[in-house]
Copies of this chain bind each other. A is one copy, B any other.
Amino acid sequence: MVQPAYTRLDVDERRRRLLELGGELFTRYAYDELSMARIAREAGISKALLYHYFPSKQAYFAATLEQAAAELVATVTPDPSLEPVEQLAASLDAYLAWVEAHADAYAKLIQSLGSVPEVRELVERVRRQTADRILAGISPGAAPTPALRTAVRGWLWFMDGAVLDWIEHRDLDRVELGGLLLGTLLGAVTAAGAPLRG
């Protein structure tokens, strides 16, 4: 029984490493510059083995994105025992720390939003989940008003724009940016008629 379990772990581990490498490759090169042959070479494995893990470059790219998104979601999930505003502040800071550590990849991701359907779907899904979590914190158990839904959805766009500006200029520290984001959300939610309790 030991051998199969070991082999299985090895497969998972190689997959994990390939996804990690993907995060790096798709940041360093444009999508069109990469071929399965080149990816296999960079990974130090045969093309046949790479195809064993991922049926196409597109599938490899999609899996890389999924992996990054799952990591991000795990990182920013707040401690549910905190107050809503504190949960939000903690999530935000974790998110900004993640962006700081992956600035180039993040900028590339946001800029490719329109042209790569996989990216658009993923970002839309993450936005929707994040919006739902924020809305659940603001008005637990109740359906949000249209104004509140619009405020939170708009704020997620604000965050993307502000973070891109931050990456480009690097003239704010993370705490300042976090304060700006939180203050803006409070302003938006208040303007939507649902002040956030601190």
Copies of the protein in its oligomer: 2
Closest to A163 in B: B154
Provide the residues of chain B in CB contact with A139, threshold 8 Å: none
Q: A172 on the interface (CB 8 Å rule)?
A: yes
A contact face: mostly helix, strand, loop, or mixed: helix
| C-alpha gap A40/B184 in the complex (Å) | 48
If A112-B114, A190-B183 touch, does A157 touch B147 (CB 8 Å cutoff)? no
Chain B proximity mask over A110-131: 1 for CB below 8 Å, otherwise 0: 0111111000100000000000
A151 at interface (Cβ–Cβ under 8 A)? Answer: yes
Tell me, rounded to whole Å, the shortest Cβ–Cβ distance linking A109 to chain B.
11
**Which residue of B is nearest A157, CB measured?**
B161
Give chain A interface residues in 87-135, CB to chain B under 8 Å. 111-116, 120
Q: Which of A161-198 contact B (CB under 8 A)?
A: 161-162, 165-166, 169, 171-172, 176-177, 179-188, 190-192
User: Does the CB pair B161–A146 fall under 8 Å?
Assistant: no
Chain B residues closer than 8 Å to A169, beta-carbon distance: 146, 149-150
Task: Assign chain A's interface to a size class.
Answer: 35 or more
A42 → chain B, closest Cβ, in Å? 27
A60 at interface (Cβ–Cβ under 8 A)? Answer: no
A188 touches B191 (CB 8 A): no
User: What is the CA–CA distance of A188 and B182 in the complex, to the nearest angstrom?
Assistant: 9
Residues of chain B with a CB closer than 8 A to A120's CB: 114
Residues of B within 8 Å of A113, CB to CB, are: 113-114
Where the two chains meet, the residues of A that have a C-beta atom closer than 8 Å to any C-beta of B are 111-116, 120, 146-147, 149-151, 153-162, 165-166, 169, 171-172, 176-177, 179-188, 190-192
* 9 cross-chain pairs, A with B, having the tightest CB-CB distances, nearest first: A187-B187, A114-B114, A183-B191, A157-B161, A154-B162, A158-B158, A184-B188, A146-B171, A154-B158
A and B contact pairs by CB, cutoff 8 A, 8 listed:
A111-B114, A147-B180, A149-B169, A150-B180, A158-B188, A179-B191, A183-B191, A187-B187
